[in-house]
Amino acid sequence: MKKIIFPKPFKKGAKIAVISPAGAVDTTQLEKGIEMIKNRGFEPVLGQHLYTKFSNGYNYAGTEEERLKDINWALNDNEISAVWASRGGYGCQHLIQRLKLKNFTENPKWYIGYSDNTVIQSYLLNKGFASIHGQTIKTSSFGVTDESYDLIFDILKGKSPKYALKSHGFNKQGNIEGELVGGNLALIYALLGTKYSFDFRDKILFIEDIGENFYALDRMIMSLELAGVFNKIKGLIVGGMTNMGDEKENKSYEESFDEFAYKLISDRISKYKFPAVFGFPNGHIKDNRPLIIGGNVKLQVSTKVKIEF
C-alpha cells in the first residue's frame, strides 16, 4: 500500500498561491477571499493568469497553456507553501497530462479546492500526495461560512478534522477505517477507465454534486457500479446534492441535500454491505467543511455519526 505524503504544517507569513486552473473569475469575486488570507497572517501570491479570460465554448481562465503555466509554477515554486484554487467550473482535465511535480515532490504543499479540482486531487493522490477538498477562494452565490475557512486553516497548521453528525434516514450503519478518496461525482465519473482515476480498492469514497438531472445522477452512479467501484470500497460518504433534478424547477441553493437524489443513491447501494453516511456538509453548499483526500478516516455510523481523521 502506497504511503500518502502530507505537507508540513506552516507558520504565519507563509505564501499561498492563488490560481485559476479552470473557469474564469473577476477581481470582485476574489476580493474577500484574498483579503481573508491576508487577515489570517499569510501572504497571497496571485498567479499571472488568475484573472485571464479565454472563451472557447466555455469561459476559461486563460488558454490551456496559460492555466498550465500557473499551476506548474504554483506547485513547484519552493517559496509557495500551499496552492488554493480560485474556483472550479471546467478545465482541469486539460492540464493533468502535462503537470510537473519535480520540485513539488521535494517540497509537498497542500492543494485546496473542490468541484472541477477533483481532477487535480485525483492526480496528486495517484502520485502519493494528500490534498484538501474544501472551499475555493471565490465568493459563491450560495455563500460560505467562516467556519468552512477556519477548518481549512486548521489543517494547514497541522490539525486533523473531526466531525459529529446527526443520523440520516438513508444511512447504513457500521464502523470502518480507511483512506478517503473522491470529490465531485461528475469528475470521478469522467476519470473512470483512465490512468488518472482514483484507486477505489479498500477506500472510503466521498461524493458530492450540483445541477445534475436525476437521470444523469443515476447514470453516473450506474457507471460506478458497472466499473466495480461499489465492490471495492469500504464505505461511502455523500455530501451536498445541490440544485438537482429538472433545471426548470429552479431549486434554491438552500436545498443542498436533495432527498430524491439521496434516494436514488441509496437504492443503488442497498445491496452492498458497506456503511454509508448521507448529508455530510461538504460540496456546493454554504457550510462546506473540508475533507482530506488521501487522509486516513475513521467512520462510525450508528444513531450518531463520527468522522475522524
> In a 10 Å sphere around its CB, with 0-12 CB exposed, 13-18 middle and 19+ buried, how is residue 37 labelled?
buried
The cell numbers describing 67, all together, are 492555466
Tell me yes or no: is domain 162-308 CATH 2.60.120.860.
Answer: no
63-107 pLDDT per residue, tens:
999 999 999 999 999 999 999 999 999 999 999 999 999 999 999
The distance between the two most distant Cα atoms of the chain, rounded to a whole number of Å, is: 51
Q: Give domain 15-156's CATH architecture.
A: 3-Layer(aba) Sandwich (3.40)
pLDDT band per the 50, 70, 90 thresholds, residue 256: confident
277-302 pLDDT per residue, tens:
999 999 999 999 999 999 999 999 99
Identify whether the C-beta of residue 50 lies closer than 8 Å to the C-beta of residue 25. yes
Is pLDDT above 60 for 169? yes
- Reported residue count of the chain is 309
What 3-state DSSP class applies to 197? coil
Any idea where the domains of the chain sit in the sequence? 15-156, 162-308
162-308 shares the fold of 15-156: no
Averaged pLDDT of the chain: 95
- What distance in Å separates the CA atoms of residue 299 and residue 295, rounded to the nearest whole number? 12
Provide the angle, in degrees to the nearest 10, between the axes of the packed helices 214-226 and 259-269.
20
